Structure formats: C-alpha cells, structure tokens
Amino acid sequence: MDTINLSEKTDWAFIEEVKKESGQNPSLCYQCGNCTGGCPYTQYFDYPVSVVMRLLQSGQKETILKSKAIWLCATCETCTTRCPCDVDVANIMDTLRIIARREGKVAEKDIQLFYDSFLDSMKKHGRIFEMGILMGYKMKSGHFMGDAELGPKVMSKGKISLFSKSIKGADKVAQIFNRFQEKAKKHG
C-alpha cells in the first residue's frame, strides 16, 4: 500500500459532504470492528466496512468511491443495528453509493446495470416487470446465459409474465423521475 500523505490527501470537503447527506458523524466511530464482524459480505468486500469508515474518517475519497465494497453492501442493517456508537453505518454506505453514482465512479458495473434496469422498468411501467428487468440487464451486461436454467422453471409455475403491463399512472411515476433529473441538473 502506498504511503498516504495525510496533510495533502485528506479530502475534508468529502467528509463534510458525507456528513451532510447522511446526517451521520463519522468521528463517532472508534474502530471497534463490530460492523465488519457482523457484515455478511465482509469476505466479498475489497475493504471491510470498518475500513470504509476509517477511509472516510481520513477523507480518502477516491479509494472509497472506487471500492467494490459500497456496491456489495445489501443494506441488511446489521452494522447499524449493532454499532455501539449509534452510527447509522448502512446509511453512510447508501450515501457513498449515491456520491459514487453522481461522480460516475461505480466499481461494480453489473450491480449498477441491474439497478438501472430496475429503475428503467419502473419509470416505464410504474411497476416492476420482472422479465423486462432481466432482459434489460442481460442486454446491457452481456451476461446472456446467467441464470438461464431458471427461466423455464419460473415459466412453468406461471409466475412470470412475458408481457409488460403498465399502471394507469405510469406517466406520473415517470414525472417523479423527470422532476428529479431536472432538479439535479439545475443544482449541477
């Protein structure tokens, strides 16, 4: 690992940004490791949760935003529930994902694509069209064969529809997305 010059490479503005958007104070963390100990995903993370918290305390913006860890977090709330310092850690992870997305630094492209397919389907139909999401994701990610064996199984139970169906107010849901995007553009 490289030496981190803390005098030059501490991004104080980033710490403040996360603080403001999450409403959490990273200084409360005393690095006990309970979050890492309880996290079901620690073994898949490039940086365990407590290290993400430490990187945040030291203002290491780039490392955090480019980490896979923030995208592999499933918001299962174990860390938040057990934090002895009352830090809503899951909320911080959520906030870090939002910032990573905003700055175009998502390390886990597949997960982002899956989420995007989900949101696209929602925007288009008002509700989730499961087959649509799956197909959308497969097209964008190029993972055509992933879970291929499950398709016929689900079909046989009559659980998944091949045809999309939109709600009456689908345009109203789309409006929510549009207004959000306009506002986001306005504020840069």
Partner 1 sequence: MRVGVFICHCGSNIAGTVDVAKVAEEARKMPGVAYATAYMYTCSEPGQKEITDAIERDKLDRVVVAACSPRMHENTFRRTVMKAGLNRYFFEQANIREHVSWIGLDKELNTKKAIDEVRMAVEKVKRNKPLFSTSFKVNKRVLVLGGGVAGMQAAIDCADGGLEVIMVEKSPSIGGMMARLDKTFPTVDCSICILGPKMVDVAQHDLIKLHAYSEIAEIKGYVGNYQIKIRKKPTYVDWTKCTGCGLCMEKCPTKNAYDHFNFGAAPTRAINIPFPQAIPKKATIDPEFCRQFVKGKCGVCAKVCPTGAINYEMQEEIITEDVGAIITATGYGLMGIENFKEYGAGRYPDVITGIQYERFLNASGPTSGHIIRPSDHEEPKTIVFISCVGSRDKSLGVPYCSNFCCMYIAKQAILTKDHIPDSQSYVFYMDIRSPGKGYDEFTRRAQEEYGAKYIRGRVSRIYPKGKKMVVRGADTLLGTQVEIEADLVVLGNAVVSAEGAAQMAEKLHISYDTHGFYVESHPKLRPVETNTSGVYLAGACQGPKDIPASVGQGSAAAAKVLALFSKDMLESDPAIANVNINTCVGCLKCVKTCPFQAIVEDTLRNGKKVAKVIETVCAGCGVCTSTCPCGAIQLQHFTDNQLLAEVNAICQK
Partner 2 sequence: MAEKEYAYFCGCSLEGTAKEYDESIRAVMKALGVGLVEPDDWSCCGSTPAHTVSHVLAAALAARNLSLVEKMNKDVLTTPCPSCLMAFKKAQHGMTGSEEFKVEVNELLDEPYNCGVESKSSLQIIYEDIGLDAIAAKVTHMMPDLKVAPYYGCILSRPPEIANFDDPENPVSMDNVLMAAGVEVADFAFKLECCGAAFGVPKREMVNQLSYKVLEMAVDAGANCIAVACPLCQQNLDLRQGQVNSTMGSRFNIPIIYFTQLMGLAFGMSPKELGMDKVFVSADKITRRITKAEYEKIKEEEAAAKKPQKAKKEAAAEETNN
d(CA 80, CA 73): 12
Size of the site for partner 2 (CB under 8 A): 61
| Rounded-to-integer distance, Cα 84 and Cα 101, Å | 30
Q: Which is nearer to partner 2, 15 or 122 (CB)?
A: 122
49 touches partner 2 (CB under 8 A): no
Of residues 89 and 100, the one with the C-beta less far from partner 1: 89
CB of 166 to partner 2, least distance (A): 10
Phi, psi of 87 (to 5 degrees): -90, 130
Binding mask 53-92 for partner 2 (x = CB under 8 A): -------------------x-xxxxx-xx------x-x--
Query: CB count, 10 Å around CB of 10?
Result: 16
Exactly one of 26, 48, 59, 126 binds partner 1 (CB under 8 A); which one? 48
Nearer Cβ to partner 2 (10/37): 37
The least CB distance from residue 19 to partner 2, in Å, is 14
Q: Are 83 and 89 in contact (CB under 8 A)?
A: yes
Out of 20, 23, 27, 84, name the contact with partner 1 by CB under 8 A: 84
Place of tokens 């990187």: 55
Beta carbons of 160 and 154 less than 8 angstroms apart: yes
Minimum distance, C-beta of residue 91 to partner 1, in the bound complex (Å) = 15
Instruction: Tell me, rounded to whole angstroms, the distance of Cα 13 from its chain centroid.
Output: 21
